[in-house]
Amino acid sequence: MATSRTRDGGLRAAIAAVGSVSELARRLDLSQPTVSAWRRVPSHRIVQVEAVTGVSRLILRPDLYDFEASGRAGEEHGAELPDNVSNFELTGDRSAAK
């Protein structure tokens, strides 16, 4: 069962792309506890997180960007997962793993 502390797929993808919460925080010049407290990427940090991780804003916050209209994972608009991020890390669904 999901809890209020569960990270969404976009944040999981960003963390996976850089290797850890600590590394994401370092690249954003934020404290590790600040990033650890996120359930999803804050709207005012999307562009910065996209720049330091290579994870598209379509993946980071599909609720703010038209994920569905852009095609699966936004591929039609160049929104691909970085090579080191699997669909499992994005969705949490083991059947989606590469």
Q: What is the pLDDT of residues 71-82, one digit of tens each?
A: 554 444 455 556
The two structure tokens encoding residue 3: 């809890």
**Higher per-residue confidence, 72 vs 98:** 72
pLDDT at 98 (0 to 100): 43
Domain positions in the chain are: 9-96
The two structure tokens encoding residue 87: 């669909």
Q: What is the pLDDT of residues 6-57, one digit of tens each?
A: 999 999 999 999 999 999 999 999 999 999 999 999 999 999 999 999 999 9
Q: Which fold has domain 9-96?
A: 434 Repressor (Amino-terminal Domain) (1.10.260)
pLDDT band with cut points at 50, 70 and 90 for residue 65? confident
Non-local (6+) Cβ contacts of 25 within 8 A are: 31, 32, 34, 35, 36
Q: Using CA atoms, how far apart are residues 7 and 10, in angstroms rounded to an integer?
A: 8
Whether 59 and 87 have beta carbons less than 8 Å apart is answered as no
**Higher per-residue confidence, 17 vs 87:** 17
The two structure tokens encoding residue 46: 């999307």
Q: Is the pLDDT of residue 67 over 90?
A: no
Q: In Å, how far from its chain's centre is CA 1?
A: 21
Q: Which of 83, 85, 59 is nearest to 71 (CA)?
A: 59
Q: How many residues does the chain have?
A: 98
0.75 surpassed by pTM: no
